[in-house]
Structure 1
């Protein structure tokens, strides 16, 4: 996330609440997946938590009235107002019919900050498939040498694999155990050198469109097809410096895990202890062992929830590799645009300078975002539906965890689901909500040229989305 303030909430509380509200499907007949955290007598039934998971079905509840554009315009005219300099562009659309309910500079291509991640999310789900996984594997490249080959999983951890986790679904300790077993079975003894193989990606590890200051601040890091903790020194610390050589960082942790396994001296085909040192070079060889990542759908959800710039760039490069392009930042940009074109999104006027949204040179209009979110919520492409789980929930999860607590926006808590975006003079919020009448609305608000740090700008976004959630606007 670009200079976005992250507030740490209670993990257990969030998990418990998300169990009620995170969508498993789309359901429009009487009760929807959009649930308020604390139901009250005045809460419409379709905004209450469903007693059972909603089934997927097509079409909106046909009797739900559509908001009046004039009434909605009057309300948003009072809330979507910049605090100081700059302006907001906005687009609000009825998801079922595509009817435009509110528009203000909606066709104007603007710097969207981290809303760019929605484009990468759609491309990754479309090209790679929601259920796909990336494999990190070891190869025996010589009589006493192995390499660890990156397959795109940058959510590795040093410990054992944790099948119920996204970060750490694949663990280096598990891979080390399997690798040592395979080496012993092959009769290998003594010292073994370990190299890292990041050859899946090519070209510069950093996109030159990203400000070096953002790299120094830890907003992102040089990209590789394998990394620990999405290139963080600590998985629980989401700010500050990052490792600058992901492959070396992984090799160091992997050698430590291998030596712990190798020193055990447990009986094998050859018996005895094995020792491992970093060194040598990657090459071709026989696969010894592997560990698999969380699914692409789970990684996309992680990316959107945490606004993870590094993971976004990696997923973009994986889309490039899948399409037969070089696994470079230019290949990723070209591949993402191609996938958007194949989805039927109008990309005219769109500028993709980087995939995560760190670059101020990106340009996307609010109308393009609402068109994409309509595809995710009501389109026929089932792969895109997986993105919905990743939209942060107002007041409860991800980058919206600490928002929607004010009197003017608390009505949107638990109901608004949207991707945030923040740069120095940019704020954005694009997502979806079921209004008080049971109508699904998609929206995109993008502020450019804003006064840096002005508190009223974020409030303007949240209050406007809350207007949509409470709308019985007729």
Structure 2
């Protein structure tokens, strides 16, 4: 695997405005909250201050805040108004704004429409699949749509199968996303018509399964979804049992050529890799075209073609996604970047009739400002935290976490957050392997975030006396070993109280995953959570 590498890029204000970033705070935002003069819990202050002297943080930047959400009392603060790269903790802001703006019952609808005259089983015109921004659409959903078309009686389409992704704009990648991340599942192209390769809702990706053969022979290759129109080149060879693993699956820039290389040990078992596709709307239409053929619907014209659905087109079939409340589980538990960006563009589309990052980020700014959550300056360039332009303070996160507890959507949001130490992947999420065997296990509900030189967490912990605390830890600009155990020890201290023995806090260092950077598929990548 390639090592993670990114570089911070200076961004002139004019460029930021042109790309539609949410800069600093919304116009007329509240002034930053005055710095807390003294900590209200001196024992806690001494404990966390000691943890922040970890030698891995020498030269790094750390921002920490702990707040009692019941009283609003700040129990600990350290650089809480210092701007830091948030990584995927940015998803807290995006998800809260989406719940408030769209509602927990919001769904994404994919339609198939007929543009032309229908005579018996013949449609004299085009069949159009219109994307509704569904980030969870899968091949089986397209197959069900094709079945609906066949059940409607259409057997022959004299025109083409067209695809319409105009609900969102045609900007596929976010500002500040690294070009060399494009092949990886966590950096998918964003489109109103896209297809997910798995139940994790990794839209705009392919799952490539490699099964070793006899030593010296190529590994067998199976791709899901099939029929997207990509080309597979290269091969992965099968090495002897116990040999080195050196598989690489990537996509050639600007193409849909998936390139395989490396070697897989004969005793490895099937190996799953994920890679993004170029132009996911067209790839999705290709999958639908194959499904239509299987269901006996023949399209005579050139397929597929991009076009906007005309006003007079008639509905033939439709598919609704799960509710936003349900989609929060893969979104937050597994830190799904694509869902975050779909929600940004969906907010823009629903509220401003503009499915763009600029319009969606403006809606997030309105949400923060109208609820007095823009307590400090910040900058938001995307919904996921993948951008290196994002900057947030610990103070802003604790303000959001405190506010959320009193909202009607809170329980849905709270349960969708990763839960420390819970081994169930769709419960523990990115915290499944962390803080096991400590007072934080099944206690801490929090969103994690990490990139090269960045490790963060923000969420809730119940103190031994029953108080619900909001806490944020943002660690930036470390160049050596990842100081993840510092984050976990802070959470354990909050969960266990001052009587938690030092040996128990030190146990965090031995928890699986405390120093590894595993993505949602358990594969080391370049952006992690």
Q: TM-score, normalized by length of structure 2?
A: 0.67
How far off is 1:182 after superposition? 2.1
Hey, what's the Cα distance between the residues in 2 that align with 1:382 and 1:308? Answer: 24
- Contact kept, 8 Å, 1:325 with 1:335, in 2: the verdict is no
- Contact kept, 8 Å, 2:115 with 2:126, in 1: the verdict is yes
Deviations 1:412-440 (A, max 9, x none): 12111110111111110000011111111
Give structure 1 stretches of 5+ with no counterpart.
Answer: 5-66, 160-170, 264-272
Q: Does residue 154 of the first structure (1) align with residue 162 of the second (2)?
A: no
How far off is 1:347 after superposition? 5.0
Q: Does residue 196 of the first structure (1) align with residue 230 of the second (2)?
A: no
Query: Alignment partner for residue 358 of structure 2, among 320, 330, 350?
Result: 330
Which structure has the highest helix share of the two? Answer: 1
Which sits farther off after the overlay, 329-338 or 149-158? Answer: 329-338
Deviations 1:344-386 (A, max 9, x none): 3125411112221112221111011011111222x2x213442
Query: Alignment partner for residue 51 of structure 2, among 45, 66, 79?
Result: 79
SS at match of 2:193: coil
Q: TM-score, normalized by length of structure 1?
A: 0.75
Q: Does residue 279 of the first structure (1) align with residue 308 of the second (2)?
A: no
Number of equivalences:
380
Distance 1:464 1:238, change over 3 A: farther
Residue of structure 2 equivalent to 1:439: 467
Distance 1:103 1:280, change over 3 A: closer
Q: Does residue 222 of the first structure (1) align with residue 189 of the second (2)?
A: yes
- Contact kept, 8 Å, 1:391 with 1:418, in 2: the verdict is yes
Query: Alignment partner for residue 88 of structure 1, among 62, 71, 88?
Result: 62
Question: Which gives a bigger RCO, structure 1 or 2 (Cα 8 Å, sep 6+)?
Answer: 1
Query: Alignment partner for residue 117 of structure 1, among 91, 106, 109?
Result: 91
Distance 1:218 1:90, change over 3 A: same
Hey, what's the Cα distance between the residues in 2 that align with 1:216 and 1:190? Answer: 35
Distance 1:421 1:363, change over 3 A: same
- Contact kept, 8 Å, 2:375 with 2:399, in 1: the verdict is no
Hey, what's the Cα distance between the residues in 1 that align with 2:170 and 2:51? Answer: 45
How far off is 1:445 after superposition? 0.4
Hey, what's the Cα distance between the residues in 1 that align with 2:156 and 2:194? Answer: 29
Q: Show the 5 A alignment for 1:238-317.
A: 240-262=274-296, 278-282=303-307, 283-284=309-310, 285-317=313-345
What RMSD in Å do the two structures reach over aligned CA positions? 2.5
Q: Does residue 205 of the first structure (1) align with residue 172 of the second (2)?
A: yes
Which structure has the highest strand share of the two? Answer: 2
Residue of structure 2 equivalent to 1:401: 432
Give structure 2 stretches of 5+ with no counterpart.
Answer: 5-38, 117-123, 197-202, 208-223, 226-270, 423-427, 501-529
Hey, what's the Cα distance between the residues in 2 that align with 1:280 and 1:361? Answer: 35
Distance 1:238 1:393, change over 3 A: farther
SS at match of 2:479: coil
Distance 1:86 1:274, change over 3 A: closer
Residue of structure 2 equivalent to 1:413: 441
SS at match of 1:323: helix
- Contact kept, 8 Å, 2:185 with 2:276, in 1: the verdict is yes
- Contact kept, 8 Å, 1:255 with 1:277, in 2: the verdict is no
Distance 1:315 1:309, change over 3 A: same
